[in-house]
Chain A
């Protein structure tokens, strides 16, 4: 809501600039979205009086006007507006002026005729199209007859006012009005606030003889109407129009404008009906019946149902209660009798109706948050009084009341001790009670206890904590001390799981992979790729897009999306890892379980190419080396083994291995299937994904000191030809099993399957290292062991030792 600085100043004696006032409001009440002064940035825009006007000889729509701008000679201005006429006072942008959007106006010629400036529409000097009175939307604006040529136009149009745009939180509906804001400012600046109250001059007949209302008070706890006859419909006076357009509302006519003005002032939405269009003299507040329809003021049709609250006459709904009135009973030319409605509607219904019909109005916004239930009659009276004063209406005697459940004010007990204990302050009883009284609350003190009677307008205050907020904010958050919690000692330590997750990240970063964080919501297809176990996908009920509709059951597909993003931007070398959750769901369960995974993906080269380092494209063994080093870092207790897996549809059937720890599969690694690479539009990519939770849960090895032997080691190399289907693992396992007591390590140093070996064979070469920790090894002992293992290789694996 935009609130007028000038309007505030009519009630409070403030000696602060608008920007300072706005800051104070922001720091004490509600957020401020900005402060604007409509005349800011405008220059040399004055009142002009059109002395004469002739048609442009070369145009069918332009006119040549002689305009008095308060100088000795009139200015000649060519104007194309359809509504310009001699005798009008108009807005003139002089030569050298600046209008909206920082546009500069210069002398010019229009179709050969000199034109010194421009006659302006309101939109051209910065007004939003939405607030310009309908009569002037398609033409220039006509100023009042008493405007003086040559004067700057700003004061005539209220443009020197400053408008503070309040972003009101859902709890502070009271701030959606001048009066509510004044109450807060009175407390902030510790000033008394003098509000004016209406005095209605009634005449004519009793309303009760002319109108009856029948109200379901569950839907509308308060419902009141007044009747005003013999209305003279006309445009509102300038001051009223200015209040409205500065608040962002379009002036329409005096009756409608008065209802809007009262809403801005009191926060109470009103509705004006054309009484003569009612079918009968009875008005009902009820739920709609299925099948009923209503055309609202904005000329949209709505199908209603029993969730809608409507105002209805004998025949049909005439308004969507608290949201928008109906077209059939709206104020139109010719309206003379107006029924003014001032009511409270149940906020939940209003909120849902506004959503359902997509009609978020000034009225619905206020009813949703709750209006001042103690001010319903006052707002009604104020509107009636204004219709008498500004539209010459005869306010009929009395008010019809359909329901009047005014809530009792909240009464809250609070102790000073509690206030200071929670806020960390040392406030006195006087300070606290003064703050609460300045907000218009009643305070009774009994010893340490304050009994606070809260003003009804503050429907957000129910419990002591609510009062603490009032005390704290009015006292000022800046004045609160800043301390740290004291009390019993607590330990701040990471859990084993958290430590391992940190170690995981550090390990993989050390191995050259960058941490990625990808989207956990993905497409249905990608969610189900690279599955490590069977699971049902989990779908969002109402996704925003198909791209983020299903919870991932693998981390790799997100990394492939990342690689695709890089690849599309010509970044060819990408090495990523991600630690994140996957979501497995069993059929029949609504909720998936969440499992921590760790995954990596590399495309291009891991080691950056350089002048002294050729590009070495990533391959299976590089990725395996990373996985192995990582698992070594994590110190899982048990043998890590790798078994070929040709069955994962998204993986290369010959270049994929399951990763097993102590025989349990914890994940896989390998090259993604070329078709998957093609689908993602990426180059050859190697990936791994491991169940991190499984790694976390596994027993771990402890660091331990192992004596470094002082005795020399002896090495022997062995090269052999074996059949292609003999794996390295088989060979190493055999050597380790049969290598004798002094064998310390077996290291593969060459693999060859080129032209120099027979078809179907390959050559493998290993270095065997022997050492005795307690004495120098004798060569003979090594030779004996070496020969033994060579023999076993020949016998068991059919190896030909070379």
Chain B
């Protein structure tokens, strides 16, 4: 058998052994057997010195070729087997991806806070300041400077928690109108503010009444503020809080501190304006009170009503939340049942 034939046979046998090897240890053994120092190829090459000088390079080249083939085949087989090992391991690591994810502790803002924040952000964007005032107020600011002198019949509309004759739990955020008007320097620019906060009424708690609730007061005073500006502002507010599809209508009303006074209704959520039980078949739901600031309020705060004027509004975030989410009992907002608090989590 010629050397060349020997080599060819060696290749065939080698490739067969590599193919047969079933794990990495096998592959290594085959490698040592075939390509090791005592392996057959080394032996064949050793026999080259008996060849003609002419034949030698040819056989040498052929032997190198066979060694490369075997080396490649070994590497390939090794990679195959490694992949198989990895695949087997990954298969073992397979999880039930439908098991629930590990829960995390997550706190939520109160739904009323969410509405107040939304209102604040809207008005900040329109250049309003956000102001907060005392919850324990003087009769003077809560009533008298809001054009509700002692004995005014409209005081009966707001049953009040008095602490002393002159000190009370504020029944509305409106006293912030008087407090702000008193201080504002109109030479520095117009007054545009909102004032959110907690207010108190002498009510028995039931599904629609709470002795503690929230209000957001709004006030804009400048030289050329119109009732049309009030209407536009309330429209923006309704669209922001409820969506563009909601219409706003104004109706005459009565508040001692505004003249004209209006109440604003928005399209009923429940029926979209067609008329239903929620809106008493009117298609509208009352959401806030507003009006043009009464000249007496300006005068009492030292602002000249012949030069300055503007509008004010008061909205109830509790009522908004009840309407927007269909909350049927106002007490939910203050009892803090976790199952209630964690319902208003949608941020997207």
A residues sitting closer than 8 Å to B (CB atoms) are 23, 26-31, 34, 169-172, 347-348, 351, 368-369, 421-425, 463, 465-466, 468-469, 472-473, 477-478, 480-495, 498, 502, 505, 508-521, 538-544, 548, 551, 559, 562, 565-566, 569, 571, 573-577, 580-581, 583, 590-592, 594, 606-608, 610-613
B262 close to chain A: CB less than 8 A: yes
21 pairs, CB–CB < 8 Å, chain A vs chain B? A27-B252, A170-B153, A369-B153, A422-B292, A469-B260, A473-B252, A477-B250, A477-B251, A487-B223, A488-B189, A488-B190, A509-B107, A515-B110, A517-B113, A517-B333, A519-B334, A540-B163, A540-B169, A569-B339, A571-B339, A613-B103
B269 close to chain A: CB less than 8 A: no
CB closest chain-B residue, reference A563: B336
In the complex, number of A-B residue pairs with CB atoms less than 8 Å apart: 257
B282 close to chain A: CB less than 8 A: yes
**Of B108, B124, B154, B189, which is within 8 A of A514 by CB?**
B108
* A481 proximity list for chain B (CB < 8 A): 228, 231-232
B33 close to chain A: CB less than 8 A: no
Q: Summarize B's interface: helix, strand, loop or mixed.
A: mixed
Nearest 4 Cβ contacts at the A-B interface:
A424-B228, A512-B105, A424-B226, A469-B260
Interface-located stretch among B10-18, B36-44, B78-86, B195-203: B195-203
* B236 proximity list for chain A (CB < 8 A): 484
Q: Mark B216-253, 1 if CB is under 8 A from A, else 0.
A: 00001011111111011101100000000000011111
CB closest chain-A residue, reference B294: A465
**Of A517, A548, A581, which is within 8 A of B112 by CB?**
A517
**Of B110, B117, B252, which is within 8 A of A469 by CB?**
B252
* B232 proximity list for chain A (CB < 8 A): 481-484
Q: In whole angstroms, how far apart are the Cα atoms of A351 and B252 in the complex?
A: 24
Other CB < 8 Å A-B pairs besides A347-B153, A466-B259, A480-B250, 11 of them?
A: A169-B253, A169-B254, A422-B226, A483-B231, A492-B192, A493-B129, A505-B109, A509-B108, A511-B107, A573-B338, A583-B136
The reply to whether A515 and B109 contact each other, CB–CB distance below 8 Å, is yes
Known: A34-B280, A488-B190, A581-B135. A511 touches B229 (CB 8 A): no
* A472 proximity list for chain B (CB < 8 A): 227, 260
CB closest chain-A residue, reference B153: A170
Q: Mark B310-348, 1 if CB is under 8 A from A, else 0.
A: 100000000000000000000001111111011000000
In B253-277, the 8 Å CB interface with A consists of 253-254, 259-263
Tell me how far the C-beta of A476 lies from the nearest C-beta in chain B, rounded to whole angstroms. Answer: 10
**Of A421, A469, A493, A510, which is within 8 A of B259 by CB?**
A469
B143 close to chain A: CB less than 8 A: no
Tell me how far the C-beta of A617 lies from the nearest C-beta in chain B, rounded to whole angstroms. Answer: 14
CB closest chain-B residue, reference A23: B282
Most chain A CB within 10 A, of B212, B227, B294, B310, is at: B227
The reply to whether B102 and A494 contact each other, CB–CB distance below 8 Å, is no
The reply to whether A485 and B222 contact each other, CB–CB distance below 8 Å, is yes
* A489 proximity list for chain B (CB < 8 A): 127, 189
* B167 proximity list for chain A (CB < 8 A): 590-591
In B116-157, the 8 Å CB interface with A consists of 117, 120, 123-130, 134-136, 138, 151, 153-154, 157
Known: A424-B228, A541-B164. A518 touches B334 (CB 8 A): yes
Known: A468-B260, A581-B135. A517 touches B334 (CB 8 A): yes
The reply to whether B251 and A492 contact each other, CB–CB distance below 8 Å, is no
Tell me how far the C-beta of B341 lies from the nearest C-beta in chain A, rounded to whole angstroms. Answer: 5
B99 close to chain A: CB less than 8 A: yes
Tell me how far the C-beta of A599 lies from the nearest C-beta in chain B, rounded to whole angstroms. Answer: 13
Q: In whole angstroms, how far apart are the Cα atoms of A799 and B252 in the complex?
A: 81
The reply to whether A490 and B127 contact each other, CB–CB distance below 8 Å, is yes
Q: Mark B183-195, 1 if CB is under 8 A from A, else 0.
A: 0000001101000
B295 close to chain A: CB less than 8 A: yes
* A468 proximity list for chain B (CB < 8 A): 259-260, 292
CB closest chain-B residue, reference A488: B189
Known: A513-B107, A611-B99. A488 touches B204 (CB 8 A): no
Known: A423-B227, A512-B107. A491 touches B252 (CB 8 A): no
Known: A171-B254, A514-B107. A542 touches B226 (CB 8 A): no
Known: A515-B341, A562-B336, A576-B336. A551 touches B153 (CB 8 A): no
* A544 proximity list for chain B (CB < 8 A): 202-204, 211
**Of A483, A540, A575, A581, which is within 8 A of B228 by CB?**
A483
* B123 proximity list for chain A (CB < 8 A): 492
The reply to whether B254 and A612 contact each other, CB–CB distance below 8 Å, is no
CB closest chain-B residue, reference A540: B161
* A543 proximity list for chain B (CB < 8 A): 161
Known: A171-B254, A516-B341, A611-B100. A551 touches B136 (CB 8 A): yes
Q: In whole angstroms, how far apart are the Cα atoms of A28 and B154 in the complex?
A: 21
**Of B112, B151, B157, which is within 8 A of A170 by CB?**
B157
CB closest chain-B residue, reference A497: B132
**Of A172, A486, A518, A569, which is within 8 A of B254 by CB?**
A172
Tell me how far the C-beta of B148 lies from the nearest C-beta in chain A, rounded to whole angstroms. Answer: 11
The reply to whether A610 and B336 contact each other, CB–CB distance below 8 Å, is no
* A493 proximity list for chain B (CB < 8 A): 124, 129
B309 close to chain A: CB less than 8 A: yes
Q: In whole angstroms, how far apart are the Cα atoms of A583 and B200 in the complex?
A: 15
Tell me how far the C-beta of A88 lies from the nearest C-beta in chain B, rounded to whole angstroms. Answer: 39
B166 close to chain A: CB less than 8 A: yes
The reply to whether A515 and B128 contact each other, CB–CB distance below 8 Å, is no
The reply to whether B253 and A425 contact each other, CB–CB distance below 8 Å, is no
The reply to whether B127 and A422 contact each other, CB–CB distance below 8 Å, is no
Tell me how far the C-beta of A365 lies from the nearest C-beta in chain B, rounded to whole angstroms. Answer: 11
Tell me how far the C-beta of B289 lies from the nearest C-beta in chain A, rounded to whole angstroms. Answer: 11
Q: In whole angstroms, how far apart are the Cα atoms of A478 and B250 in the complex?
A: 7
**Of A23, A423, A518, A612, which is within 8 A of B102 by CB?**
A612
* B124 proximity list for chain A (CB < 8 A): 492-494
The reply to whether B107 and A484 contact each other, CB–CB distance below 8 Å, is no
**Of B105, B200, B224, B249, which is within 8 A of A575 by CB?**
B105
* B136 proximity list for chain A (CB < 8 A): 538, 551, 583, 591-592, 594
Q: In whole angstroms, how far apart are the Cα atoms of A23 and B163 in the complex?
A: 42
B46 close to chain A: CB less than 8 A: no
B106 close to chain A: CB less than 8 A: yes
Q: In whole angstroms, how far apart are the Cα atoms of A520 and B136 in the complex?
A: 11
The reply to whether B162 and A542 contact each other, CB–CB distance below 8 Å, is yes
* A505 proximity list for chain B (CB < 8 A): 109, 113
Most chain B CB within 10 A, of A171, A347, A542, is at: A171
Q: In whole angstroms, how far apart are the Cα atoms of A750 and B212 in the complex?
A: 49
* A574 proximity list for chain B (CB < 8 A): 338
CB closest chain-A residue, reference B222: A487
Tell me how far the C-beta of B182 lies from the nearest C-beta in chain A, rounded to whole angstroms. Answer: 18
CB closest chain-A residue, reference B157: A170
The reply to whether A516 and B253 contact each other, CB–CB distance below 8 Å, is no
**Of B113, B127, B162, which is within 8 A of A515 by CB?**
B113
Q: In whole angstroms, how far apart are the Cα atoms of A23 and B337 in the complex?
A: 40
Tell me how far the C-beta of A469 lies from the nearest C-beta in chain B, rounded to whole angstroms. Answer: 3
The reply to whether B107 and A508 contact each other, CB–CB distance below 8 Å, is yes
CB closest chain-A residue, reference B214: A517
The reply to whether B164 and A491 contact each other, CB–CB distance below 8 Å, is no
Q: In whole angstroms, how far apart are the Cα atoms of A472 and B251 in the complex?
A: 10
Q: In whole angstroms, how far apart are the Cα atoms of A589 and B236 in the complex?
A: 44
**Of B204, B228, B252, which is within 8 A of A423 by CB?**
B228
The reply to whether B198 and A520 contact each other, CB–CB distance below 8 Å, is yes
Q: In whole angstroms, how far apart are the Cα atoms of A169 and B262 in the complex?
A: 12
Most chain A CB within 10 A, of B105, B151, B251, is at: B105
